[in-house]
Structure 1
Amino acid sequence: MARHVGLLRVWVCWLLALVGQLYKDPSATSATVAMTSFPETKVGKCVFPFYYKNGIYYDCVKFQAKSKWCSLNKTFIGNWKYCLKDDFAKCAFPFWFGRMIYWECTEDGNLFGRKWCSLTKNFNRDQIWKYCDSY
């Protein structure tokens, strides 16, 4: 009996992997088409936050592109560029988290002990953040 259950598990895992490869997320594909239908603008400064499709983004994004990119306008209208190290969103110091004000990256509130910071002055309200060790 245990052998049959083991074979059934292997078969189900294989089937799920196959279905996952065949399924393509239509929203991810349309995001790629929308972004790549415009040529990259190599000169310009990233604007954060920016609106793209139905979302608002506070840092560089990667929608099935070869690298992370950003919009050069508040609302994406086709002007974009691949993000370089200096283009990624900057921490907003000081920021308010819980009942404290932080002037540098903190491990407080992170289950994994990694340092993070808020991308807005009020983390309590906005809940927008990034890890400090990533650029």
Structure 2
Amino acid sequence: METITHLPEIKDGKCFFPFYYRNEVFYDCMKLKTKHKWCSLNETYQGYWKYCSEEDFAKCVFPFWYRHMIYRDCTEDGDAFGKKWCSLTQHYNKDKIWKYCD
């Protein structure tokens, strides 16, 4: 298992979204070679991070634009498995950033 950083976890910090880590952009907490999902406390990861709690996970953005429609709630449209999803930005057509709804 890879160690994220040599610095200690900061429990009272606030997740910064989106954040940059290893030349990628993350809009939600991530799980990359770690046991639990985590987030950066800076716009560009600088070694300051924390494990995500329930309130840290990315929230759906409404309304959002998908294909030729505006959605004000989670939708099953376009999902091969019929699961409801939402955009994490207002412009899904451009950004393609999303998550499944609970």
Give the shorter-chain TM-score range.
over 0.9
Aligned residues, how many? 102
1:63 to partner: Cα distance = 1.4
Match of 1:96 among 51, 62, 65: 65
Write out per-residue CA displacement over residues 7-59 of structure 1, whole angstroms, 9 at most, x where no aligned residue: xxxxxxxxxxxxxxxxxxxxxx6xx33x1322100111111110001111011
Write out per-residue CA displacement over residues 83-113 of structure 1, whole angstroms, 9 at most, x where no aligned residue: 0111001111110001110111000010100
Q: Which amino acid aligns with 2:18?
A: P
Unaligned stretches of 5+ residues in structure 2: none
1:126 to partner: Cα distance = 0.5
Q: Which residue number in structure 2 is paired with residue 43 of structure 1?
A: 12
Q: 4+ runs of 1 displaced by more than 6 Å?
A: none
Asked which structure has the greater CA Rg, the reply is 1
Match of 2:24 among 47, 55, 58: 55
**3-state SS of the aligned residue for 1:59?**
coil
Q: Which has the higher strand share?
A: 2
RMSD (CA atoms): 1.1
Q: Which amino acid aligns with 1:72?
A: L
Q: Which residue number in structure 1 is paired with residue 40 of structure 2?
A: 71
**3-state SS of the aligned residue for 2:62?**
coil
Q: Which has the higher helix share?
A: 1
Q: Distance in 1 between matches of 2:9 and 2:36?
A: 12
Unaligned stretches of 5+ residues in structure 1: 1-28
Pair 1:115 & 2:87 matched: no
Q: Which residue number in structure 2 is paired with residue 8 of structure 1?
A: none
Q: Which has the higher contact order (CA 8 A, sep 6+)?
A: 2
